[in-house]
Amino acid sequence: MKVIVGLGNPTAQYAGTRHNMGFAVIEELAEQYNIKITEKKHKALIGVGRISGEKVILAMPQTYMNLSGESVREIVDYYKVDSQEDLIVVYDDISLDVGKLRIRPKGSAGGHNGIKSIISHLGEDIFIRVKVGVGEKRPGQDLADHVLGRFTKEEQPMVREAAKKACDAIECILSNDVNKAMNDYN
């Protein structure tokens, strides 16, 4: 079983923001694979289904970004999964151009508060990451304003395509392994 967690902030106020790119990918996976994300537990919205023959838990923490690790820790413990092998975290990355992907099997938080929280709660930084580019902030712009802002009309088609591409990359991870996905999608 694999746990696929998309990071974001709950409530309609944050829907469609750059920081909710992880939620967007989970919603796209749920739609593609007909997985209903309706169960509320482990401080998250959860859906159970199959992707590429693998049982998966799709999760969208409802703790707000900076506390994502609380939910992820509960999920990993409850389902007794190995976070190094069976956890995939999808999130926004401001160091990547809008729509670009970067897949990594481990690494630092890189300044991302959701990832910092997960590393803190798991006690390690070894888990698969699917980073989706949301673009850099403008010079002089506050970082929070950037990540909590919405995509421009011109960026929206790239964002939809990136969510689909991230789903393909996750399917590749499940069907093959993280190295194949990195070769194909980075």
Q: Which residues are catalytic?
A: 19
Instruction: Measure CA 174 to chain center.
Output: 15
d(CA 74, CA 61): 10
Q: Which residues pair with 51 in a beta bridge?
A: 54
Question: Please, which residues have CB within 8 angstroms of residue 55's CB and are 6 or more apart in sequence?
Answer: 1, 2, 48, 49
d(CA 179, CA 185): 10
